Structure 1
Amino acid sequence: MERPARLCGLWALLLCAGGGGGGGAAPTDTQPPVTNLSVSVENLCTVIWTWDPPEGASPNCTLRYFSHFDNKQDKKIAPETHRSKEVPLNERICLQVGSQCSTNESDNPSILVEKCTPPPEGDPESAVTELQCVWHNLSYMKCTWLPGRKTSPDTNYTLYYWHSSLGKILQCEDIYREGQHIGCSFALTNLKDSSFEQHSVQIVVKDNAGKIRPSFNIVPLTSHVKPDPPHIKRLFFQNGNLYVQWTNPQNFYSRCLSYQVEVNNSQTETSDIFYVEEAKCQNSEFEGNLEGTICFMVPGVLPDTLNTVRIRVRTNKLCYEDDKLWSNWSQAMSIGENTDPTFYVSMLLATPVIVAGAIIVLLLYLKRLKIIIFPPIPDPGKIFKEMFGDQNDDTLVRLMDQRRLYFLSSLINIDKLSSRKDIQAK
């Protein structure tokens, strides 16, 4: 019984030894470094590194290439002899590559070979700043920037752009100025390619004379998206609630948008804002053709006052990476009784005038009433003076007139007597 047991132990040792020898298919020795590492730039911001396999590599080694960028970012182990990356070329970008025989990161790769992109030419302070691009309603992209610190005011800027659906790099023609900002917009429609959302738009801004440092930017098509404002279709009251119906901007699915409903009340002079993540027209209160229509119920709204409603939308993270850009507010729509505030202002201004006029009329009326009730006592002296003083004056006038008549009549009589004597004498 001891001999068979010894034979089994010996056989196990042979198997273990044989297994160890079979593992030699993956040598643990360090491999030689890669050769002919080079770098090139395609389009505007697509950097491509290529290299050749190492010379003198072990024939039993299935080569894999370990690579990473500066600060050991984006580590990758793959069999391909090339690597590419979309990156803004505002600074130098370096890639380090080494060879190894396994896909384990813990294995020691060969000596790493490094290759960097050349830095942009020009003074860094001459490059434009705050270069930002926004994709408006999935229809056109608008980019804006500020001039660099060391830039001439008469610099003529040029913007070039590229994305995967273009066959070549294009120049933006619509350059404009808005205050200190300079901008340019170009058409960019949402293609039906399912992979289009995974791509980016590569941007570079420079001048025609080459005096400023180029500025690069990469805009992912899943971010920096600003929808157009929605359109309010209908408002109505029912059971003490306000129902709102609107349509989304074109080019967007309802599931990809979030909403904000603002209700302004004329009586309370307050604004209530409601955040809506999902709004469907499933209630029986909503009637008519609801295709493409979004609905929302605002509770506790007073129907006997004027209520003004506005809506805005933004993309959500269900479909996009960015949910920070709200659309502009929609055109406002009102419902309820319109209480004109100018009426109250007019009444407030007219009330003091009306009260003052009424007081003046009342005072005049009271003065006249006082005269009627309490007439003034006449002065006796004035009465007698008026009676006798006027009478004496009239008497004197009459006496003077009588004396004049008497004197005239006397003269006439004397004249007549003298005439008679003359006749008798003759």
Structure 2
Amino acid sequence: MTFTAEFFTFLTFTAVIMVHHCKAALPPPTELSYEWVDAFTANVTWKKPSGLQDGKVWYKYRLELGLPQSYVCVKSRHFLATLLTEETGSGNWTYFIWTVEDCNSQNESTEVRKIIRTLKPRAEVKDIKCIITGTREMNCSWIPGNPALKLSYRICGLTKELIKPLRECDQTYVGAGRYGCYLTADGVKNDICVSFATDTADTGMSTSKIAPMIDPPVLSVVEEEGDKLKLSWVHPKIGVNCSWTYTVCYKKCSHSEECHDYTTQGEPVFIPYDKSCRYEFWSSVKTHRYCETVFSERGKAVSIGTNEPAEETLTVISIVLPVILSVCIFLSCYCFRRHSAIICPVIPDPSAIFKDMMINGNKELKTTAGSLYTPVPEPIESCKVNPITDNLVVPLNC
């Protein structure tokens, strides 16, 4: 009886687990596809999973580059996505899509992967800068890998009102190694998407979102009485109803660069000033983080003051320099006195030389004539002759 009860409990538990797993095994989406609506927007679609009815399940999708928990939950079997090549650094995007019972349910299907490719190969465009020059005007410039690239643009977005044929920029120019064009768009209130592409299909295309910029602020540095410097700027006027944050970087003497942020409405700021140092200032500006993002690059350097030696250096120089100078003078006098005969030899009087030649000239000639060359006598050896006897030849002994 006990065995039967335990066996029945085991079967019940197994059945519950199997039912749970069968319920969790939702079928994934099928036949994923996509089409490009324009240069920035892709429409991804799929068919409903087999055995399920529309409206009974939901779908989740996420971009591969995003975090695993950063997904979007929809009930329809399609979604629109803004895909820009310069945001990912490539021309391919991978999406994962799966079926769920509802957005908060753990009852999910396996993920299905779909790779989206750009309309054209990715083109190389470097250093895109778009500076706001008016209420609805922007000056965009760039360094292209292909000079034949043309710029087209529209306001970024996924609504039907925004997804329409792109506007081609026709006010182009070339200068200083950069290509440029003047856009008619409000880059402060709207995000502007731009496309760089050629007319032919076998060349590349680059898409990106404009980061609106303004010209660097003109920095004024004035020396105040005491030990302060007064810094002031011309407040930007581009229609941004927001406070500005100024970043000031400066170097003094041999110190490393130092940067500070100041949030002002145009009033000046003061910094400590060391008059023995030369200061170099750079400044940039950006909107507050809770406002539309508008910023500038660093402006031209503004310098003030000169580098002067420190008091310790002057003290050392005033003591060491006289000592070195005295030693040099002493050594110079010593060397001059010791080698004075070489440095300043005694030059005889020319008249005395001529008079001595006239008086002593004959004596020198006589002395020279009496001292003739006498050869040294050579030594003479005597020879002894021996008589010849009986056909013997006796040599002479010399």
1:215 aligns with 2:205: yes
Q: Distance in 2 between matches of 1:176 and 1:49?
A: 38
Q: Distance in 2 between matches of 1:177 and 1:327?
A: 23
Q: Distance in 2 between matches of 1:204 and 1:246?
A: 35
Deviations 1:177-235 (A, max 9, x none): 3455434342442454xxx4xx4x32222223x1642322222x5xx443323245683
Q: Distance in 2 between matches of 1:69 and 1:240?
A: 56
Deviations 1:368-395 (A, max 9, x none): xxxxxxxxxxxxxxxxxxxxxxxxxxxx
Farther off after superposition, 128-137 or 65-74 = 65-74
Deviations 1:393-424 (A, max 9, x none): xxxxxxxxxxxxxxxxxxxxxxxxxxxxxxxx
1:161 counterpart (145, 153, 163): 153
Q: Distance in 1 between matches of 2:36 and 2:119?
A: 12
| Structure 1 residues 365-404: aligned runs within 5 Å | none
Identity value in percent: 12
Q: Distance in 2 between matches of 1:234 and 1:71?
A: 46
Aligned to 1:313: 284
Q: Distance in 2 between matches of 1:230 and 1:247?
A: 6
Q: Distance in 2 between matches of 1:182 and 1:99?
A: 47
Q: Aligned pair in 2 of structure 1 residues 145, 107: CA closer, same or farther (>3 Å)?
A: farther
1:189 aligns with 2:186: yes
1:275 aligns with 2:259: yes
Deviations 1:319-354 (A, max 9, x none): 589899624228x59799xxxxxxxxxxxxxxxxxx
CA contact 2:193–2:208 (8 Å) conserved in 1:
yes
Q: Aligned pair in 2 of structure 1 residues 174, 235: CA closer, same or farther (>3 Å)?
A: same
**Aligned letter for 2:205?**
S
Aligned to 1:247: 234
Q: Aligned pair in 2 of structure 1 residues 216, 184: CA closer, same or farther (>3 Å)?
A: same
1:85 counterpart (81, 85, 95): 81
Aligned to 2:36: 41
Aligned to 2:340: none
Q: CA deviation at 1:317?
A: 7.4
Query: 5+ residue gaps in structure 2?
Result: 1-11, 307-398
2:225 counterpart (219, 227, 238): 238
Q: Aligned pair in 2 of structure 1 residues 248, 213: CA closer, same or farther (>3 Å)?
A: same
**Aligned letter for 1:258?**
Y
SS in 1 for 2:60: strand
Q: Aligned pair in 2 of structure 1 residues 272, 246: CA closer, same or farther (>3 Å)?
A: farther
- Name the one with the larger helix percent: 1
2:245 counterpart (257, 280, 288): 257
Aligned residues: 276
Q: CA deviation at 1:170?
A: 0.9
Q: Distance in 1 between matches of 2:75 and 2:53?
A: 18
Q: CA deviation at 1:78?
A: 1.4
Deviations 1:86-135 (A, max 9, x none): 2136524343422121435854415x5554445534xx5xx642344223
Aligned to 1:135: 130
Aligned to 2:100: 100
Aligned to 2:197: 206
Query: 5+ residue gaps in structure 1?
Result: 1-16, 149-154, 281-291, 337-426
CA contact 1:230–1:312 (8 Å) conserved in 2:
yes
SS in 2 for 1:28: helix
Q: CA deviation at 1:57?
A: 2.0
Q: Aligned pair in 2 of structure 1 residues 307, 94: CA closer, same or farther (>3 Å)?
A: closer
Q: Aligned pair in 2 of structure 1 residues 101, 306: CA closer, same or farther (>3 Å)?
A: closer
Aligned to 1:297: 270
CA contact 1:31–1:100 (8 Å) conserved in 2:
yes
SS in 1 for 2:236: coil
Q: Distance in 2 between matches of 1:237 and 1:191?
A: 37
Q: Distance in 2 between matches of 1:41 and 1:236?
A: 60
Q: Distance in 1 between matches of 2:228 and 2:178?
A: 46
Q: Distance in 1 between matches of 2:58 and 2:75?
A: 8
CA RMSD of superposed structures (Å): 4.6
Q: Aligned pair in 2 of structure 1 residues 261, 73: CA closer, same or farther (>3 Å)?
A: closer
Q: CA deviation at 1:308?
A: 8.0
Aligned to 1:226: 213
Q: Distance in 2 between matches of 1:145 and 1:308?
A: 34
1:174 aligns with 2:168: no
Q: Distance in 1 between matches of 2:244 and 2:20?
A: 52
CA contact 1:26–1:101 (8 Å) conserved in 2:
no
Q: Aligned pair in 2 of structure 1 residues 143, 28: CA closer, same or farther (>3 Å)?
A: farther
Aligned to 1:144: 142
Q: Aligned pair in 2 of structure 1 residues 132, 263: CA closer, same or farther (>3 Å)?
A: closer
CA contact 1:66–1:98 (8 Å) conserved in 2:
yes
**Aligned letter for 1:145?**
I
CA contact 1:242–1:298 (8 Å) conserved in 2:
yes
1:328 aligns with 2:271: no
Q: Aligned pair in 2 of structure 1 residues 277, 137: CA closer, same or farther (>3 Å)?
A: farther
Q: Aligned pair in 2 of structure 1 residues 158, 99: CA closer, same or farther (>3 Å)?
A: same
